[in-house]
Structure 1
């Protein structure tokens, strides 16, 4: 991705901070940093890798932040997409495993389709305050551990959005100025209309996997005069915004619509799999829980083994980007212990990581699996709240994520898709997001 030069002092400060973090991140560091006072040191991220799930700049750096929810209001399964100049709102919720109140500030930035920073100034896309402060949060009823829940809803009277396009929501610790999370969202103009479908390609197969080729038709709004020059089209599978694919096969023969689709040589995997974790019950009454140890803080939950090639969850539908933790202040956290029978020689030059909607689909050093010779299993842990989650075990090889390495073959899985239509604004020099569509494979 090509990035623009950023002259904004606030963004220079964040860039300097992130560069300082990178110096201290060690790939093999598998433990969380300690909490000091009211600020928690950043959670290590694995650097310099390809095929990530997230967009450039999307990150959660604070190890004490959990149970993030970021979606269009009304349903936690909604994608973070709203219509410009409408009553639709985006809701951000997250929890910090600390009793003490912290002050967080929020601001947004406008981006191009490739998530490089757009060239327009803030005053062009924001009406109101450039920085807004969140409330003091609400304290949980449970202890061991006790936590505080923070929420923010926008656009609002203090923060109004004037342009469509790709955006990044950034949350900082107001006392230190450190960035604690950055999450992408989208603002569309609802101009024109899209109809979409998915072609399933039985042959040829890609590495013995079935493949999908989404196709769409975009009915043009009246103001688009030169679609072949002004429009760009993208597809995204399973809300992995960092893996958006630009449509390369375009048909402009009709004056009223554009037919666009994926390159036949670069389709999506049609049987992409997730593992499902149901932690609605932390005790051994839960069929996924082998042992529950309530005396520890947080309580320890030892899960039954996952086995490579035998754990697929079938036809899961879209469950949101961040899972479905129970957002009640009565719900409890636990230290979930994952055990994986990888059927893999530990001497091979491969690294295995746990990733899922519970950690923003990030590749983090803290969630790298460690081989135990006595049990002949791979182990890691993750602090999770009661709820429902999707996750995967992925392999890192030659600085590239292989998220298909442990998948079952020929599993019948339903895939979720989004398509986006952008227009280059030649007068104001930014990308407008004219329309999107949300659809599923059969």
Structure 2
């Protein structure tokens, strides 16, 4: 009996000394397409909403068999480890319920079922606290199909953000630096060096964010962040784009159209822009919009089309691979976005299935050592227009979860020295 309790106690200690697992998003399988996640307005993006606002998730299942999907919501700390809160402390109502709002495609060559989930709803009546959240979609076998992160904040502080050029001479034309201040006249932040963390996002992309930024110093009730390299981003270049709203008509970007089982759009070949002068080309910072000229309701009347890409390099690039990059698949690098070099055309090529619409994209280079080089093909130009978002996390003394107490935004259009 003594041996049994010794083993039991050892297992208890082992489980409680293991490091908490950091949550990561699960990318959707190939049959789940066009995931749109936002606050109900604008483009698909990581929703960063104020406490009490709603979020909206849409996606297509191109199997089109009206499969059953369920959702759950989990709360996380600043570092995406599970928080200590039980579900009833952060969620009003309940989750783990079926998504009942779905419709089948109409008058399209590719059949699909379109699902829509809005929170709050009659089951999940609201979320009670601020912080990091994960929305997960399950199938009937309780397997996670895909998941997406989102954040809820409460504007208890004012976050003033500005974008500046790098103070390092060799980087002044290729990097953008984010400086900001956090202030509050009424909300008192105690021990900010240990209790406050800042996250900086470029174009709402969690994968390239800068995390765990501490205040440089404070003046009264104002926290100052005036770093140079620590809060700097490669400026990148404006995104390329194509518009497939009309399945049967070529555009400035679409070279030719073919029809097999589905429509095929062949884009004009792109080229390496890293050595070209910067040219302003209005974009939507990697995002996309679903639209069609073949119907009045794009959610179920927009068709799917194979889009063929080509990046002319004349010879294969060494020590890495080329990928398509954009919000269309949440900036994931996978087989559907990997390009293969074709010696016959001297270009990297691939084809990917897209729902009709307007899409931003760029080519990125993933080095063999695992480092993603966004500017290797597109270049880095300080005049590039980028949006920046700063989130302020706070763990009060004795607190059981990390709160988000402020959000600030700025555009590099107003960049200064």
Q: Same fold (TM over 0.5)?
A: yes
Distance 1:185 1:393, change over 3 A: same
Q: Give 1:410 deviation, angstroms.
A: 3.7
Distance 1:210 1:411, change over 3 A: closer
* Superposition pairs of residues 411-430 of structure 1, within 5 angstroms: 412-430=383-401
3-state secondary structure, aligned to 1:324? strand
Q: Give 1:311 deviation, angstroms.
A: 11
Task: Please name the residue that 1:164 is paired with.
Answer: 130
Q: Specify which of 178, 182, 194 is matched with residue 218 of structure 1.
A: 182
Q: Output the CA distance in 2 between the equivalents of 1:360 and 1:143.
A: 25
- After TM superposition, the score normalised by the length of structure 2 is 0.84
Q: Specify which of 370, 376, 380 is matched with residue 350 of structure 2.
A: 380
3-state secondary structure, aligned to 2:170? strand
Q: Give 1:81 deviation, angstroms.
A: 1.6
Task: Please name the residue that 1:331 is paired with.
Answer: 302
Identify which range, 175-184 or 322-331, moves more after superposition.
322-331
Higher Cα Rg, which structure: 2
Task: Please name the residue that 1:252 is paired with.
Answer: 218
Distance 1:411 1:420, change over 3 A: closer
Q: Give 1:287 deviation, angstroms.
A: 1.6
Distance 1:378 1:270, change over 3 A: closer
| Residues 267-298 of structure 1: CA deviation (Å, up to 9, x unaligned) | 1123444222222233343121122112x222
Asked if 1:73 is matched to 2:40, the reply is yes
Q: Give 1:56 deviation, angstroms.
A: 5.4
Asked if 1:123 is matched to 2:88, the reply is yes
Task: Please name the residue that 2:295 is paired with.
Answer: none
Distance 1:231 1:194, change over 3 A: same
Distance 1:266 1:402, change over 3 A: same
Asked if 1:57 is matched to 2:24, the reply is yes
Q: Give 1:394 deviation, angstroms.
A: 1.6
Distance 1:436 1:419, change over 3 A: same
- After TM superposition, the score normalised by the length of structure 1 is 0.80
Distance 1:103 1:425, change over 3 A: farther
3-state secondary structure, aligned to 1:195? strand
Asked if 1:353 is matched to 2:353, the reply is no
Distance 1:56 1:315, change over 3 A: farther
* Superposition pairs of residues 398-417 of structure 1, within 5 angstroms: 398-408=369-379, 410=381, 412-417=383-388
Q: Output the CA distance in 1 between the equivalents of 2:337 and 2:393.
A: 36
Q: What is the count of residue pairs matched by the alignment?
A: 385
3-state secondary structure, aligned to 2:384? coil
Task: Please name the residue that 2:98 is paired with.
Answer: 133
Task: Please name the residue that 1:240 is paired with.
Answer: 205
Q: Give 1:420 deviation, angstroms.
A: 0.6
3-state secondary structure, aligned to 2:391? strand
3-state secondary structure, aligned to 1:378? strand
Q: Give 1:431 deviation, angstroms.
A: 0.6
Q: Give 1:186 deviation, angstroms.
A: 0.6
Q: Output the CA distance in 1 between the equivalents of 2:116 and 2:287.
A: 15
* Superposition pairs of residues 201-212 of structure 1, within 5 angstroms: 201=166, 203-206=168-171, 209-212=173-176
* Paired residues of 1:282 and 1:289 also in contact (CA < 8 A): no
* Paired residues of 1:274 and 1:313 also in contact (CA < 8 A): no
* Superposition pairs of residues 277-288 of structure 1, within 5 angstroms: 277-288=242-253
Q: Output the CA distance in 2 between the equivalents of 1:335 and 1:312.
A: 30
Q: Output the CA distance in 1 between the equivalents of 2:44 and 2:348.
A: 31
* Paired residues of 1:172 and 1:178 also in contact (CA < 8 A): yes
Q: Give 1:439 deviation, angstroms.
A: 1.8
Q: Give 1:344 deviation, angstroms.
A: 4.2
Identify which range, 256-265 or 360-369, moves more after superposition.
256-265
3-state secondary structure, aligned to 1:61? coil
Identify which range, 364-373 or 274-283, moves more after superposition.
274-283
Q: Give 1:61 deviation, angstroms.
A: 2.7
5+ residue gaps, structure 2, are: 1-13, 292-297
5+ residue gaps, structure 1, are: 16-54
